[in-house]
Amino acid sequence: MSTRERILDAALDLFAGEGVAGTTVTEIERRAGLTPGKGSLYRHFRSKEDVFEATIVREVERLQAAVEADRAQLQQQPDRRSQLTIDYRQCLRDIERFDALLRVLAREHGRVGQVHDILGRVLGVDQRLDSLTSVVVVASLLGYHHLCQFQRQPFHGVDAETFIARLVDLTL
């Protein structure tokens, strides 16, 4: 892995946990395996803001490519219930994959513009759903994911398959 990639990985973790303001260049260097406080980061980036922007762009591009590849492998189902179940499972997996980026965006919402639009397209579900239903589904899956993380177990003991099955029922 290149030094640049190690810096971006370290920055993503720090920005997700501490925010941009709470993250120092020295800490990014330390986490990336560079000599802290020696300015090694500046050989690859002009500023912490450049690291932030590069982190967001890289994550969106990387995750969008992974999501598109996964979704291209999904087989179309003959009935609506089965198709929605598969789509919602995939959306929840995508949300789990986007977790660190979503945490950064939640902390830094005022700093990131078009990324929200990109995430909306990437996390979208069945195109036959109207836009409001799609928003409700994605918001429900996001909420379920975050509540499970908060409790460090399935939220109120409801596993993902049961949650998705109910969400499909409500959608239909």
How many distinct structural domains can be found in the chain?
2
Same domain for 111 and 29? no
Same domain for 45 and 90? no
Residue with tokens 């198709």: 83
Residue 142 lies in a domain: yes
Decide if 162 contacts 150 (C-beta within 8 A): no
Residue 93 lies in a domain: yes
Which pLDDT value is given to residue 137?
Answer: 87
Decide if 87 contacts 126 (C-beta within 8 A): yes
Residue 65 lies in a domain: no
Which pLDDT value is given to residue 105?
Answer: 82
CA dist 76 to 64, 85, 137, Å?
20, 11, 19
Give the residue numbers spanning the domain of 138: 74-172
Which pLDDT value is given to residue 147?
Answer: 92
Which pLDDT value is given to residue 119?
Answer: 63
Same domain for 107 and 163? yes
Same domain for 86 and 163? yes
pLDDT at 124 over 60: yes
The arithmetic mean of pLDDT across residues 21-43, rounded, is: 93
Which pLDDT value is given to residue 121?
Answer: 60
Same domain for 86 and 154? yes
Q: Diameter of the chain by CA atoms?
A: 60
Q: Which of 29-38, 51-60, 103-112 has the lowest mean pLDDT?
A: 103-112
Same domain for 164 and 98? yes
Read off the pLDDT of residues 68-122 as tens digits, 9 standing for 90 and up: 898 889 888 999 999 999 999 998 998 998 889 888 887 887 676 655 565 666 6
Residue 118 lies in a domain: yes
What's the predicted TM-score (pTM) here? Answer: 0.77
CATH of the domain at 36: 1.10.10.60
The arithmetic mean of pLDDT across residues 122-151, rounded, is: 80
CA dist 105 to 6, 52, 99, Å?
20, 11, 10
